[in-house]
Amino acid sequence: MVDNAQVFRSLNERIAERELRRLEIVCECVEEACTELVPITPVEFYEVRRHNGWYVVRPGHQRLERVIVAQPAFLVVEKVAA
């Protein structure tokens, strides 16, 4: 007989591992030619996506945007209405 608690425990460990893995997304700054990659976890990425007007950019790529989160690897910025 399979112990369900054990099955879900190891399944959840695999899910958590996947969640912690860093994605490489393309910088979302205003520079059209910018294709620099930004390391971010899926959890962080979806957190940003929950907010309209929030973008992930590389540090230093912000312009007039308001910085919401400053991490060594990326900034979360809010686009200000033009």
Rounded (to 5) percent helix, strand, coil in the chain: 30, 25, 45
Least spacing, CB of residue 61 vs Zn ion, in Å: 4
**Residue in 26, 34, 70, 73 binding Zn ion, rule: CB under 5 A:** 34
List the strands of the sheet with 54-57, edge to edge: 54-57, 75-78, 66-70
- The contact mask relative to Zn ion for 43-82 (x = CB under 5 A, - = no) is ------------------x---------------------
Least spacing, CB of residue 59 vs Zn ion, in Å: 10
Residue nearer to Zn ion on the CB measure, 2 or 64:
64
Q: Dihedral angle at the C-alpha atoms of 61, 32, 28, 23, nearest 10 degrees?
A: -100
Structure tokens at 31: 């520079």
Residue nearer to Zn ion on the CB measure, 27 or 77:
27
**CA 44 – CA 4 distance, rounded (Å):** 30
Point out which residues bind Zn ion (CB under 5 A): 27, 29, 34, 61
